[in-house]
Amino acid sequence: MTDKKTLLQETFGFAHFRPGQEAIIDALLAGRDTLAVMPTGAGKSLCFQIPALLFDGLSLVISPLISLMKDQVSALRQAGVEAAYLNSALTARQAATVLARARRGTYRILYVAPERLLLPAFHDLVCTSPPPFVAVDEAHCVSQWGQDFRPGYLDIAPFIAGLPRRPVLGAFTATATADVRDDVISLLQLRDPFVTTTGFDRPNLFFEVRRPRDRAAELRRFLEERRGKSGIVYCLTRKTVEEVCARLIEAGHKAVAYHGGLEADRRRQNQESFQKDEATVMVATNAFGMGIDKSNISFVIHYNMPKNIESYYQEAGRAGRDGSRAECLLLYGGRDVLTNQFLIEKGQDDGSAPNRPFRNAEYRRLRQMTFYCKSRDCLRARILRYFDEEAPDRCGNCSNCLQEFKEVDITVEAQKILSCALRMKGRFGAKLLADTLRGSKNAKIGEYGLDSLSTYAIMADESDASLREKIDDLLARGYLALSDDAYPLVAATAKARPVLFRGEKVTMKVPSGTRKGPARPAGDDADPLLGRLKKVRKALADRQGVPAFVIFSDATLRQMAEKRPQSGDELLQISGVGQVKGKQYGEAFLEVLREES
Ligand code: ADP
Ligand code: MG
């Protein structure tokens, strides 16, 4: 009899479950609804694919994106699993064929777009053969609080309610906030669900923030050192995407662009050429990537600060999915805050104007993002704690942990700032606080009588930049807080009192010049054997018109190059080589591996 462990090893070729996977599979197999929150790259697909193969009958996977369905189905077929998808990419005739085969019991897993659920033909299918199990991938799409809200996802609950037999429901997402979690449970009507959040840490990702004077030059340098590697450059606006992409092409990079303003055909082409490693750099807005399963992305650069940490972590998390070391670099500039504020006010891309509480929540998230960029604490810890996860103070694998800082005592400056904030009674913004402290003659100062405060001009000899840095630091560490308004007001918090009234010490970290270089991902292009294995893979992939990583991931090829298996049995020991793939492709790789030893 097949069981989960056999499937894991023989079909998918993996020796062990990753953290969280087994518990989720067990809960689903026991018939319990499940909500699994796992970071991008953690391996959610396996958590619904294995149960789908163990339940009797045809299981459904509801998935938002055509490209994602296509790749997952290709990958399953490569592994010898009967799977298919139904979405708008199929012609009416193709869709009819899929439905007919599904009715005949050809498939074990059917991927379907939410918009198809309530169509009559599909309804007929599920009434005659009710699915034992329905998985909802990218489940945050039901929630207005998550990114990528998809109206079609609201059809899921009525669809489930209309089934002759209620299936086991599994919901999967990488978005972890409590708002989204609650929304998913109630909108999908999960029953007494097993809710699990696996660790959000992605130890193989290196996090870095830079504040370059010249972003374009910084990007050029970064990419120059990583020629030939696959990566994404995210920009905030379409215009920036176009500019950056053009510059990269000029500099000889194989770059393509992706944003909502491009023709659908063009978008698809560009995405495909990136998936197939023909283009190495994808320059895109946040429209690109939901459900991108490309496993060999070795860097994700944010050319601008994104709107919140959820987006950032999701986008950055597209790097290093196969577990290889990868880099996540954010280039921060003060103007990014304004651009994001503009985008929040303008509303969603689909033109719907968000309501006020929603906008205020967006401003709050934007501020957290800004704090991340300005923080001198461990970047990983900042992200993990944002998702309510505990984290050690230092990870040793982010730009702040590698930077040496010295702690300087800023107690006196902090007292001045906090005392002025207290006198301004939370009625003004951070700029006016700084202006008052520096004794500016700004018209508003006179208008509001701020020049009559005893703290007016008590920091007149401090530069604006250095004062703003201290205010930011006090904000980031909770001595000051901002209101939720579009133009937030600043106020001293309870944490300020011991500083003001009991002389509690405040220190601030200042970079001390030296910076240890990050442990760069090993340059694998230097390994000729790996290069040859990749060539074999590319040829196999091209012959079938599938992306290379669907054949084997980079991590799998790397392990081959390292362990140099010589026989079919040895090859099966490599992580990612299952029985069907081993049989189908093993010889082609073994040939190269045997030559080598
Ligand atoms: P998610 O949907 O959570 O972002 P995926 O399901 O796309 O992640 O999986 C990411 C990568 O991890 C894939 O390349 C997948 O083959 C690999 N993977 C999943 N589970 C395991 C496992 N148990 N051992 C090794 N690799 C795994
Ligand atoms: Mg996924």
Residue whose CA lies nearest to ligand 1 atom number 24: 14
- CATH number, domain 406-515: 1.10.10.10
Q: Is 40 in the pocket of ligand 1 (CB under 6 A)?
A: yes
Rounded distance, CA 587 to CA 585, Å?
Answer: 6
Q: What are phi and psi of 62, to 5 degrees?
A: -90, 125
Q: Which of 14, 24, 313 to mutate to test the pocket of ligand 1 (most atoms within 8 A of CB)?
A: 14
DSSP annotation of 252 reads: T
Rounded to the nearest angstrom, the distance between the alpha carbon of 34 and the centre of ligand 1 is 19
- CATH number, domain 205-402: 3.40.50.300
* Bridge partners of residue 173, in order along the sequence: 37
What's the pLDDT score for residue 389? 83
The pTM for the full model equals 0.74
Rounded to the nearest angstrom, the distance between the alpha carbon of 20 and the centre of ligand 1 is 12
Q: Which atom of ligand 1 is nearest to the CA of 75?
A: 16
Rounded to the nearest angstrom, the distance between the alpha carbon of 138 and the centre of ligand 1 is 15
Q: Is 42 in the pocket of ligand 1 (CB under 6 A)?
A: yes
Give the three-class secondary structure for 106: coil
Q: Any long-range contacts for 539-545 (C-beta under 8 Å, 24+ apart)?
A: 540/585, 540/588, 541/276, 542/276
CATH class held by domain 524-596: mainly alpha
Distances (CA, A) of 78 to 83, 143, 423: 10, 33, 68
Residue whose CA lies nearest to ligand 1 atom number 23: 17
Buried b (16+ CB within 10 A) or exposed e, 40-66: bbbbbbbbbbbbbbbbeebbbbbbbbb
Rounded to the nearest angstrom, the distance between the alpha carbon of 534 and the centre of ligand 2 is 24
Domain extents in the chain: 4-197, 205-402, 406-515, 524-596
Q: What are phi and psi of 463, to 5 degrees?
A: -70, 155
- Name which of 572, 557, 591, 502 is nearest 6 in CA terms: 572
Q: Which atom of ligand 1 is nearest to the CA of 17?
A: 23
Rounded to the nearest angstrom, the distance between the alpha carbon of 201 and the centre of ligand 1 is 15
Tell me the ligand closest to 198's alpha carbon. 1
What's the pLDDT score for residue 434? 95
Residue whose CA lies nearest to ligand 1 atom number 19: 43
Query: For 128-273, where are the E strands, in sequence order?
Result: 133-136, 168-173, 194-197, 205-210, 231-234, 255-258
Rounded distance, CA 151 to CA 142, Å?
Answer: 7
Buried b (16+ CB within 10 A) or exposed e, 372-389: bbbbbbbbbbbbbebbee
Q: Which atom of ligand 1 is nearest to the CA of 549?
A: 14
What's the pLDDT score for residue 124? 92
Q: Which atom of ligand 1 is nearest to the CA of 44?
A: 3
- Domain 4-197: give its CATH architecture: 3-Layer(aba) Sandwich (3.40)
What's the pLDDT score for residue 90? 93
Q: Assess whether the region 4-197 and the region 524-596 belong to the same CATH fold.
A: no
Per-10-residue mean pLDDT for the chain, 597 residues long? 90 90 96 93 94 96 89 94 94 95 95 93 92 96 83 94 96 85 94 90 94 94 93 96 97 96 94 92 90 85 95 92 92 92 74 69 90 93 88 93 90 96 94 95 92 94 90 90 84 94 91 67 67 92 88 91 92 93 93 86
Q: What are phi and psi of 490, to 5 degrees?
A: -110, 140
Residue 476: both structure tokens together: 């980031």
CB 380 within 8 A of CB 395: yes
Q: Which atom of ligand 1 is nearest to the CA of 555?
A: 14
Tell me which amino acid residue 57 is. Answer: G
